[in-house]
Structure 1
Amino acid sequence: MNAYDPSAENPVAHAVVGMDGVLHSADPALIALNQRAGGDLGRALAVPQLATITRLARRLGIIVSRGVVVADDDADIDLWVRAQPEGDTIRLAVSGWREVQPWQPIGPASDARATFLASDADWRWDTDASLCLTFVSLEAGPRYGFDAIALLGQPLTQMFALEAGDDGALPMLDALARRRAMTGQPARLRGSGRPVMLSAEVRHDRTGAFAGFVGAARMVEAEVTPAPVEAPLSTTFTSGLDRALRAPLARIVANADSINAQADGPVQPDYADYAADIASAGRHLLELVNDLVDLQAVERPDFTLAVERIDLADVTRRAAGLLSVRAGNAGVTIARPALGELSWALGDFRRVLQILVNLIGNAVRYSPPGSQVTAVVERGARDVSVVVTDQGKGIAPEDQVRIFEKFERVDPSEAGGNGLGLYIARRLARAMQGDLTVESAPGQGARFVLTLPADAPRGEDQR
């Protein structure tokens, strides 16, 4: 291994990375490490851990310091990385450079892993604990139509679109929840849409904690093994996931928020930042658990909602109010129906509120600072609509159908949801005899329309 020598006169290696992730300059040790990862000067930083910290510093606009372990040839290197935004660049300082024993499975898992890697897989992939790719077989890229280097550090779903199995469950989510090996996860390659079957063994770090997956992919001939038929998620799976994750995640979020707020006394700024990251990730997982429970419900053949008479203008005002703090933090204003405005419709109050929180929340997320999100109610002859409009980057016509499908997002690399919100929202709207549609164009924002059956005004409501 040609790692940086910590006994050298200067034990810290420096690099300059552009806001686009391109490595502008670096000390020899970092150049060599980056080249062994498949990168070079003038190209995107190829070491996934360094690239992740660089993106975090760029997004937050603050100094980010992290300890990381980087795979390098036949050994691992324990590094301390400091990323500091400076104008239109990020300056990296990398120290430590301590060689550590690379990860190896312990005990009986060794034989299982050897058998797994000797299987008839077409190529290999590995992830870290957050399911970001840390290894992809380089030789598979040209053959199957993807850029293996560009995928490093990206979420696993940037390479694969996961699909439900024959029982309606997602083996990947079950393996992640139970921290066990995964087999038979159907998926499709992003871009080409070719079917593939995924398997993986769990990897653990030196403390025994979950550290990601060691995975394999096997191409599936469509004419021999057709794509699995969509089926509802099993009740057993979602209820088990709900029980197993909701309470622990809630405790993690609460404790991380307490550390970040320094409720029990001052802590180092870096640790406060780590706690904020942990709380954010915990909330994301809680949203996923909630969405999976909703997904199981809306896909049942007998799913129905208790429709009642609701004031759609009032529900819209409530949804906007719930998101006012988030909008204020983002520098976005929300225009909502005026107090006293009434617009009666037929629907389930809680589910309509859920849909509108999703729509307005998405609009706030994708709106630039200083812009306005509008949520207005429009009444037709037989229906009532809530129109949520933003001034974001818009949605291309080819993506306007895809965003209402399961686990689909316009840009999976962006921070945001899990690709279930709009799918569930449309299913809920249609269960109330309404609909959810979108009108948009690139660069012109988006206009989502929730439509519900109108309820005739009663005497006391006419004003």
Structure 2
Amino acid sequence: MSGAGAILARGACDGQDRLLTADEPLAGLQLRCGGDMPGTIAVPELLDLVRSVRRTGRSAARAVNAQDGSDAISSWVEVAPEGEGTAIQVRSWQATPLVSEDGAAAGQRRAAIDRHLAELSAWLDDGQRVIVVTSQAPELAALTAAMEQGAGRCWTEFLPPAEVTHQQPLHWRLLDGAPVIVAGSPRDWRVSLIPQIRPGFEPSGFELLLLSDQAASPAAAPPASAPHPPAPRRALVGQDLAPVLKQPIARIVANAETIRTRLAGPLPDAYADYAGEIASAGKLLLDLLDDMADLEVVEADSFSTTPDFIDLAEVARQAAGILGVRAREKGIVLQAPEAGETVPALAEFRRVLQVLLNLVGNAIRYSPAGSQIVISVERDGERARATVGDQGPGLAPDQQARVFEKFERLGRSGDGGSGLGLYISRRLARAMNGDLTVESEAGQGARFILEVPVDPEG
């Protein structure tokens, strides 16, 4: 492993990921973050990198971020196996004063609020080109379909900025928060662009969120004189009602988070805790609405998927990237397929991503802190397979037979689950001419296996 730039500091770790020796400024950061010398690495992102290298036996390098008092530290770190442990090389080190801790928290809070309020979200590459888009809003169905079909084109071709006439695309900072035009919608819309940044580099991609500060209008009723066709079977909460319910609930969550974080002013701890409970309950309701809307879709007689040529390994890496922060917060190591690993498949990208996000999210929810979740991919004849394996409590044989049933939670309570995720995921897998199965033993973890057809030309 080699990298550009002089080596600013070196360090050495043993087989238990303890930092044995280190040069400045790495040594000082270790101590100021609450660690010892020797002692377990106290910088979470560096510890994650070292553990990955020790576990795989392969060198790796990435940006490592940390907070050192009032400074935000951005560094480029290379780690290589060395004996039973690892060797660390630091090639860049940048300390940037934080405006204030409250300011940083406010930025994170605003991003979280935007995610709750967004009626459409998309992942963009570094050129602001659409990779994948998702929306449950009926008003945005045509826009969502157009963006899906136009993957690889700049998002401004579908959402032209309302007040920009210059050549596109503009720099993302000029477009963040800009009003945009949604064809056929009477509402005012704006976009939020959240960059995926490594220190010292331009953004490697963006999360695009489409928001409106105006409530959606209920679907117009047919004229009284119009004939009434037979009413189709409908779910209690579905595609039409879910977006209408989500917006006020999302605003409740946003206001509760504002109170909890004391951004609106000082507040006794007890009231801040109450606000946190309100926000948590609201988030559970939003998740339930999403599940109910998906349930209506997959149970419709007309439901089908749109197969495309995808790389199952790349979808798995994206799922791991999206849920990586949640795993780290719980102290769980999330291992995705290695860069360069590829398994061509024939399936709908966003539905495969939806299934993998559900499987990985469940694994994080039910796995103990300090454990490991592995996403692996392989080709087996005419099937492409993605497996999510965890070190959780596992499933007994009778539980494996019931876990894919609708509203089945296996007796769990208080975990926020609806009992619909695995049912919906299996329906999606089978709609793509695949399947979703489980292998497990009680106390030995579980392995959920998604199979879809291989790309015959891959």
Shorter-chain TM range is 0.3 to 0.5
Question: What TM-score results when the alignment is normalised by the length of structure 2?
Answer: 0.48
